[in-house]
Amino acid sequence: MNVFDKICACLAFALAAVLIALGVLGLFTGCSAHFTLPPIAGVFPAFVGWGIVKPVVVAWKSTL
C-alpha cells in the first residue's frame, strides 16, 4: 500500500471504530445518529464497522 492508501485506511479505520462503538452501545440502548434503531437492532452499525475493519487490516498486511 502506498502512503495515500494508508491514510485512507486510517480514516476508514477511525470511522469503523465509531460505528463499532455505536453498535456496542446500540445493542443495549438502541442508537440515534441521523437514524434511530431500537435495542438489539442497534448492533447493526457494529457489523458495518467490522465490515470496514477487516478489509483494512487485510490490506495493510498485504505485501502487494
Q: Which of 3, 4, 14, 22 is nearest to 52 (CA)?
A: 14
Quote the mean pLDDT of the chain. 83
* pTM higher than 0.85: no
- Positions of the chain with pLDDT under 50: none
Measured at the CA of 56, the angle between CA 53 and CA 59, to 5 degrees, comes to 150
pLDDT at 63: 60
What ranges do the domains of the chain cover? 3-61
